[in-house]
Structures are given as structure tokens and as C-alpha cells.
Amino acid sequence: MSDAYKDIGFDSNRIGFGRRAGIVVVDFQKGFTEGRFPLGGRPMVDRAVNNTATLLAAARKAGLPVACCYTAYSSARDAPLWKIPAVVNDFHHGHPSTELDERIYDKSYDMIVCKTAPSIFFNTAVASYFVKEGVDTVIITGCNTSGCVRASINDAFSYGFRVIVPEPCCGDVEEGPHRDNLRDVGRRYADVVGLDEVLAYIETAGRRNMTETP
């Protein structure tokens, strides 16, 4: 089957992993991961949380930096003009829907930021943190693929990082938008890969870090 994008040069090469990776975890807050909330309880998101927990355990063991974010506002008044009522009305500081899911968050290790826009990088210190840590590759996980994950991919690319997206570690409300958006960013900005490939890279990075430690 012909692919008009590839025919004109899209997705013509792999970006590949660099020397050191940082992992971002986008919006695995309870408002998205628990079914008691209007936006929660989606099977694809639950799958992504469990797979991300596996990835993060390896990343922390290897000493790689991890940045987690949640979305929250003081009130509906300071929220952007979201077309999603639950985000505007419920995602307020202190509301249980803004708490990070315990499966993915280690408060003794992870950087945590509150974001107010789709991307984890927008008006946060994540990019500068990664620069300080010597990161050249950003591995992006989280939800939702078609929204905040995609926005974070775009910004990581714009900052000049190599962008790697492990498909099993991202989730959305429906599979169609998840697949469509990953296919699209894979043509332009990122390598979309399996979890096993990322875990193999992290294991290698961990061994390299140990040999370089004074």
C-alpha cells in the first residue's frame, strides 16, 4: 500500500538514542487513571501506567532523571479555555484528581511539576533540568496521546532533544487517535518504539553510568 508521506520523504530515517536520556511522565494523575473520576478508568491509560511503572523502575535503577507532571489550577478562572469541563472544574490544587498515581511516582526520586498547558515543557523547568543533567534524549510517556503527550513531543523536539516514544507507555481514550497521532509524530519528530527496546537502552545506559562514576 502506497504511503504518500513516505513517497515525498517523511520518516526517512531513525533519530536513535543519544548518550543520556531523561524520562517524562505526562499527566498520570488520578483524574485520568482512576475510574471514580469523569476522565478516568480508560483501559489504554491503565495499560500505559503499568508499562510506564516498569520503565521507570529501570530508569531509576540506572540513575536517569525522571520528571512527572500533573495539571491543576487555582480555579476555573485561571485555567485556559479547555473544551473539557472536568479539567476546568475539577483539576484544582488539592483536589484528589490532581494527585499522581502511586504506581508511577517516587517522591524521593522524581522531579514533579504542575503544568497549566498541554505540554510538560510549557513554562516549567523540565528542559533546564534535563540540560543540567546532561540529557540529549527524552523518552516520553503518559496520557493522552492525542493531546498532552503529543504537545510534549512537539516541545521536546523543538528544544533539540532526541525524542523517543514507547508506544505501550502512552494511552488515550480511544485507540484510533492514539495510533493516528503516534504515526504522525513518527513521521516527523520522534521514534515510536516498543518498551523492550527502551528497556534495553536503559540497561546499557545504566552500565555506562556505573563505569563512568568516579
CATH number of 150's domain: 3.40.50.850
Q: Which residues pair with 139 in a beta bridge?
A: 23, 164
Characterize the bridge pairing of strands 170-171 and 137-143.
Answer: parallel
Residue 177 lies in a domain: yes
148 is catalytic: yes
Before 51, cis peptide (omega within 30)? no
Per residue in 180-201, pLDDT (tens digit) is 999 999 999 999 999 999 999 9
The rounded distance, in Å, linking the Cα atoms of 71 and 79 is 10
Q: Give pLDDT, residue 206.
A: 64
- Domain contains 203: yes
Overall domain count for the chain: 1
Q: How far is CA 186 from CA 104, 157, 182, 195, 205, in A?
A: 25, 12, 6, 16, 23
SS3 136: coil
> What would the pLDDT profile of 70-82 be if each residue is shown by its tens digit?
999 999 999 999 9
Q: What is the average per-residue pLDDT within 76-97?
A: 97
- State the burial class of residue 6 (Cβ atoms within 10 Å of its Cβ: 0-12, 13-18, 19+): exposed
Tell me whether residue 13 is in a domain. Answer: no
Does 127 reside within a domain?
yes
> What is the largest distance, in Å, between two alpha-carbon atoms of the chain?
53
3 located within any domain: no
pLDDT digits (tens, 9 = 90+) for 8-64: 888 788 999 999 999 999 999 999 999 999 999 999 999 999 999 999 999 999 999
**Of 68, 148, 169, 170, which is the active-site residue?**
148
**Does residue 214 register a pLDDT over 50?**
no
Name the 3-class secondary structure at 69. Answer: strand
Q: Does residue 6 sit within a domain?
A: no
Q: Classify residue 75: in a domain, yes or no.
A: yes
* DSSP letter (8 states) at residue 62: T
Please answer whether residues 181 and 145 qualify as being in contact, where contact means their C-beta atoms are separated by less than 8 angstroms: yes
Is 193 contained in some domain? Answer: yes
Contact 162, 193 (CB under 8 A): no
b/e code 116-136 from CB counts within 10 Å (16+ = b) = eebbbbeebebbeebeeeebe
Backbone angles phi, psi at 180, to 5 degrees: -60, -45
**Range of the structural domain that residue 162 is part of:** 18-207
